[in-house]
């Protein structure tokens, strides 16, 4: 028969465990838990891998920043005209003034000002016209236009978003071709956010070189440097992984861009009808492409379809 354990009287807070027979149990020291060597190696390896990945990503970001941007290539193309005076009237105005700080030339802003649409253009922007564009139905648009006797194809909503904006953003080459070659719609119109058709043409998941080529042929290429209200040029809307493709496209389109500017300059120099005023103003503060220190050129109502002359003030 098992003997019952003997209990010592309670003498305070120090409780002592007892074993059978009244013997005091030995208190074993608590041994520290040691991490296995392999576990230590795994922790060290994972830490070093994380550091390496951070360094690699940082190097990639630095490389991307050093890479040539399409907008920089475009500026070099526009300033590479064989003529001593740059060709496009808008380009002349944008390069007429520079701001120097620490002997460094500042780049200049080109801002296309928002123009309130006419009642006719707003009325023409009805459900039937919008559906025709959204469904990529160029034949229906041609029927609605009726060779100029039907609806205005300069149709846009109250925010300035035109039919051309919509077609460029959706990448509908046939509709863009119809609007530019047959109708000869305005290409200088921007919405209330400052976006012109080039912004929408580059704002696509897949590069649409045909649409941009059409715009270069019928619009002023200088609009590719026009900034929206947040200071973004059209190429800022293009995806970064398409940068190389757009650089190749601009290099191939260099002759077309320069020819278009020369054509605009030749036509406008022979036309005495003034349809707009370009104000050349300078603001202070900031630096870089989107800096407020850049000279700001505000372009007004420029109807390039009719090739009207623009007077430069500043």
- How do 226-227 and 109-112 pair as beta strands? parallel
Which residue bears the tokens 């648009």? 141
Does residue 292 belong to any structural domain of this protein?
yes
Does residue 155 belong to any structural domain of this protein?
yes
Percent of the chain with pLDDT over 90: 47
Mean of pLDDT values over 14-38: 55
Number of domains forming the structure of the chain: 1
Quick check: 249 pLDDT over 70?
Answer: yes
- pLDDT bracket for residue 97 (50, 70, 90): very low
- For 211, the token pair is 């649409």
Mean of pLDDT values over 67-72: 87
* Domain extent at residue 230: 67-78+85-313
Quick check: 112 pLDDT over 70?
Answer: yes
Provide the pLDDT for residue 307: 35
Does residue 211 belong to any structural domain of this protein?
yes
- CATH number of the domain to which 182 belongs: 1.25.40.20
pTM of the model: 0.62
Better-scored residue on pLDDT, 243 or 281? 243
Query: Dihedral sign, CA of 170, 173, 175, 179?
Result: positive
Quick check: 295 pLDDT over 70?
Answer: no
Quick check: 281 pLDDT over 50?
Answer: no
Min mean pLDDT across 98-102, 221-225, 240-244 is at 98-102
Query: Dihedral sign, CA of 188, 193, 195, 200?
Result: negative
């Amino acid at each position: 028969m098992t003997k019952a354990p003997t209990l010592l009287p309670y003498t305070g807070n120090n409780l002592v465990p007892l074993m059978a027979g009244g013997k005091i149990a030995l208190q074993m020291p608590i041994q520290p838990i040691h991490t296995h060597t392999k576990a230590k190696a795994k922790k060290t390896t994972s830490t070093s891998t994380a550091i390496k990945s951070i360094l690699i990503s940082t190097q990639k970001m630095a490389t991307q920043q050093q890479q040539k941007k399409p907008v920089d290539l475009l500026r070099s193309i526009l300033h590479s005209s064989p003529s001593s005076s740059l060709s496009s009237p808008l380009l002349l105005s944008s390069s007429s003034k520079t701001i120097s700080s620490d002997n460094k030339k500042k780049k200049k802003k080109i801002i296309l000002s928002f123009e309130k649409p006419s009642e006719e253009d707003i009325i023409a922007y009805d459900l039937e016209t919008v559906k025709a564009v959204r469904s990529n139905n160029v034949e229906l648009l041609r029927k609605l236009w009726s060779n100029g006797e039907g609806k205005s194809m300069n149709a846009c909503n109250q925010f300035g978003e035109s039919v051309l904006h919509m077609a460029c953003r959706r990448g509908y080459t046939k509709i863009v071709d119809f609007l530019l070659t047959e109708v000869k719609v305005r290409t200088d119109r921007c919405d209330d956010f400052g976006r012109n058709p080039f912004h929408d043409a580059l704002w696509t998941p897949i590069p649409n070189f045909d649409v941009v080529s059409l715009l270069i042929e019928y619009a002023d290429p200088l609009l590719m440097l026009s900034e929206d209200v947040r200071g973004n040029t059209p190429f800022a809307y293009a995806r970064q992984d398409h940068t190389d493709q757009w650089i190749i496209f601009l290099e191939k389109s260099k002759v077309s861009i320069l020819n278009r500017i020369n054509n605009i300059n030749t036509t406008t120099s022979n036309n005495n009808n003034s349809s707009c005023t370009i104000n050349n103003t300078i603001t202070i503060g900031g630096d870089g492409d989107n800096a407020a220190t850049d000279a700001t050129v505000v372009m007004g109502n420029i109807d390039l379809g009719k090739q009207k002359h623009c007077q430069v003030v500043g």
